[in-house]
Structure 1
Amino acid sequence: MKFKKSGTVPNFLDAILNIAESDTSSSLAYQDNWLVQMKQARNMTISFFGDDTWIKLFPGLFHKTDGTTSFFATDTVEVDLNVTRHVIPELSDPNWDIIILHYLGLDHVGHSSGPYSSLMKPKQGEMDQVAKTIFDIILEQDAQRMKVNPNAKPTLLILCGDHGMNEAGNHGGSSIGETSTVFVLLSSKFGMFTRLPATFDTPSEPESFRYYGFVNQVDLVPTLCFLFGVPIPKNNLGKVILEVFGDLSELETLRLLQLNAYQLSELLQNFDRDPNYLDTWNDCEFDNENAQERLQCLYNLAHYYHSKALLVTNNDTTFTIKSRKFYEQFIYETSSRLSSSFSEYNLGSIYVGIACMIVTNIAFMALLIYPTCNRNHILRINSSNKQNIWNVQRILISIGIIQLCIMMFASSYIEEEHQFWYYWMQTMWIGLLFSSIKIKQNPISLLTLTILGQLIVVRLIRSWNQTGQKYAGEIDLRYYLKIKYLGVMWILFFATISGLVITTLNQIRKSFNEARRLCLGKFMQHLNLFLHSFFAIITVFVAFLILTYKLASDDAILSISLFIKFLFNGDNYEQREIKIVNNTEGNSNSMASVDLGNSYIGVNEYHVFSVGLLTFFANWAGPIWWTIAWNVTRQEISNIQQQKRTETRPENQSFNESKDENFSKDSPFFDYLIHTSSFHALVLLCLSIAVTILRNHLFIWTVFSPKYLYQIVWNVLFHLGFGVLVSGILHSLESIK
């Protein structure tokens, strides 16, 4: 919205504050923008209906308002009907000057069910009908008004979107589908213009070589200002859309370009706009590699030929064409340069923060190295053969972490980080496969078959849900199951559920045998069997309902088959599984992968805390599940090891030895905290150094900044909230037992 109102670049923090509708720190009431100019300079009556973000950005500006909650993404009906009901009454009122209608339903359909939803086409038809109704009314009003006063001005209808969407229905990334949207200007006056010019000029922008014209959203700001005769906002970065002014003469067009160029030049430092200097200008090299000198030269050339064009008395347009060319080139390059460098950094605070991160990482490294603090009791394996496998795993983990830190300095690797996790996961399993074959002296063993099974599952989930940027548009494996092989999909799903039931019944049988062994009697046997059977049935039934009804995305129904395969491999709940499961759900380092479809389940109205929490749970459900599963499995293994030590402990064991066993019981949990905290702290440090060094990089806002936001969520909400807090609570409850 900041783009379209003031023509300036919004702060990237707005991407976070978008979820907090009550936030007012982004108010534009005291910033120069075209809405304020219309109100103050022209005393226009402005009414607004729709997304209440406008009302918070411009408090007290609108004559009439009726806001709707923008982030209640499951509402696709009332949110638009509440706007449409104002269309005819407000347009029929002769006292309006500007009416703004912000419809949210189309965006909500994308968020809740995707661009190919059955709701999408009817919603587009509804919007078509609204646009037709508005245009028919203003055409009739223009005809009546011009009949009374031939000099009356026609009405302008602007139909535009603020963003597009990707294949998942989300937005916030830099793909073509997300950054491209419709922009149409409708008026009875446009029918008087020549539809196509007699000659075509070579466009200054490469993107303009296409059938439909290409403009930036900020270009709307100076265009509207010129149309309504108000000053351009001082921080505007847009360039006037000349196609809208088809009835102007060549000199009038030059005047528009001159005003636009002058306003942009005021944002440049050490730029000379003195007319006396420009009039005495000599020839310069406009292809100079120095950006500042090149812009100064382009501005000088445009001003020089403009002054010459004003002195022409015949129909010679040579100077006019040259002046227009240099004006357009100056405006284009200045806008691009300012847009890419419209940021200020407090390097002092950044360096202090990085220094604190370095100290924190040194402390974690000391804890890892110091043998007393890190006893290495996580699944301690006494046999030398298994210890060799664990050493191979450690080496591969160390190499992978080093590679991950190096990747933080490359934008392409950040966009495709999931490829690294897939590759590392498979490398880990292949390394363990060769080690197991070498140690077991038998290529066909239970461990070997388990590793091969894991490799097959990893390959399946790699093509299950394409993410990132490079391959995001390719067809996924889940597409074939949902569209072409729907029956096969349900067979696989029920086969997975059946496997879960069989496993549960197997546990029931073991419990039944255990009860009989302990001679608890017929009643306890039947009661135990009934309780376990009832629990198994309820678990499967509830899981089925959640998967088929509550979750908006069909991907969750398909992914459960692969998750359960990992479930029965209890000794591998580590960071690689957590990252891979996060990627299989369609998540990446792009803001566009943030799914809002499940953020409003069970919520009747918008609350920033509940919606924010549900958004986190919906997008980090896989990693959260693996973290809790790892804690449960770790505690089970720890209890088994403790039971074995108790059974084999001599009666004359000393107090120190008993104390050491108690410490070893807690050691896996503390080792888990140290290792995971060290991992997240090191990644955040490397990423902080990368974004500081590359702060002027072309993709700092589209690649590095979203990755940094994601990493903060990983460290603060996920690691501290679940890796430390929830895991600590589970560990404490188990210790009390």
Structure 2
Amino acid sequence: MKVRSSVFASFILICEVVGVALFLRGFFPVPLKSSVSSKSKLSDLPAEPQTGGSPNSSRLPEPLFKRVVIMLVDALREDFVFGANGRRNMPYTRHLVERGSTHSYVAKARPPTVTMPRIKEAEGSLPYLLVLCGDHGMSETGSHGGSSEPEVNTPLVLISPAFKRKVGMEKPGVVEQVDLTPTLALGLGLPISQNSVGRVIPGVVEDSSLRDQLRFLHLNGHQLSCLLRDSTPDYQKEAGFEQFRVAERAHGSWMKLFLEGNTSEVLTNMGKKVLKQYLEAMAAMSAGLSRQLGKYDMYSMVAGTVFVFQLLLVLLLAMPEALSGEASVDLPVLSALLSLPFYLLCLLLASVHVLVCTSAESSCYFCSLSWGLVFAAVAFSSAMFCILVSMAARRLPLWPAIHGKSPSRSGGEWSLSELDALLLAGTVGHTLSLAASSFVEEEHQTWYFLLNTLCLAVFQDVCRKYFREQRRGHGDDEEPILPSKDRRHPEAEAARSEKWLALATPPFTLLCCRLLRSLNQTGVQWAHLPDVGHWLNRLGSPLI
């Protein structure tokens, strides 16, 4: 079946977008969503538990802080503050950690990496809170993006006059980075974000009354239980969910005795036990929710990758025909659909789909599609594979001999030239370089290098073509491709003009590329070097 190259390219592009979208759907898990309104108010919060009486729905702890200032330092490792060189790297911060009114923690950056919440100023005579933290750490070589301890461990220092002064350096506790969200929300008297998976940091609220501490943990536990209920089908089987219900009932019993005026030591011990139950329940629920966010849909990722890879190979094999004078591609669609491998491959892929979707612990996106869409995807992938095999077989040297044809370079054979290999290798290398998270500021340098290398290779190829006087055929009667200088007909003049234009194009492209690089020094490593923008600024921008 012959298809115009424009139609073929458009079809491949659309299918590529579908394949990439399927891969991204598996690579970025769907965020957890709660049924609680995102615009919840303080009046929408759950009532304070109380056994045997009407719940006191209006009772909320007073805010701990008036305003919050967050200082987020990029790639701040925990040993820069808490390590042996902390006094030299950050002397004032280290002094506050050792002698100031602070709480210090090692915050672990685990997926999902969340942006610190946007906080709004409550009125009242309350102290401030200064938060010093890092978004992630870095390895010993200065890179990040992996899962090593120096990359995931960041310092978290909470500074406020509301905290007791330290009397010496203490070993910082370990918390999750996402725990900052509910801690700041409760400290400011605001509802916790409904999709937060963190838990309040106990040390921040430990100076509050026991009743307020229990209320803080109850609000956080209720938010986590609602999120777990809305995102997990079997939420009742989760250990943390049942633990929270037990702690909530114990909290109600404690509240009944508290409101009756009981001030015995038994009430204090009972309250501490309820605190421990709340903390254990929230730790289990937070861990379960974090595991859901950290899961990749491998089946959808593999399906999308295979789909995109098939399309790229078909596009690569069809490129010589698409760029020929006919501007059409001969796709063996009918022969592929009528072949036995097509039906066997459909059966195999359908069996794999059923096996994966019935044995997987959690449902994936591809398994949630209707059987009609799945069958269409299986049939399309099988057809693309058979078409790919047929097109590849036509490029093999044995193909003409099998069909009784003499080999000819004017046919459908395709040889990979040196420039083709260089362009293909450069494209693959540039694509792989985009996966380096620490190289994102300088990824344009790869493009500059490949462009310069390609221009030099083209210049060398043009020089070899026009100055070595390649000859056609074999024997004594071979003649040069280009006319000699002593020929004075118009064809010779046109050939010479074409030769000098071909020779001048690569150096001119290199010159334009150098000018392009001088317009503005982007990135990090060479941003301090002067460029055309600096020159225009020095002249007062007379040309703008």
The bucket for the TM-score relative to the shorter chain is 0.3 to 0.5
Higher helix content, 1 or 2:
1
* Higher relative contact order, structure no. (Cα contacts within 8 Å, ≥ 6 residues apart): 2
TM-score normalised to structure 2 length: 0.42
| Greater C-alpha radius of gyration | 2
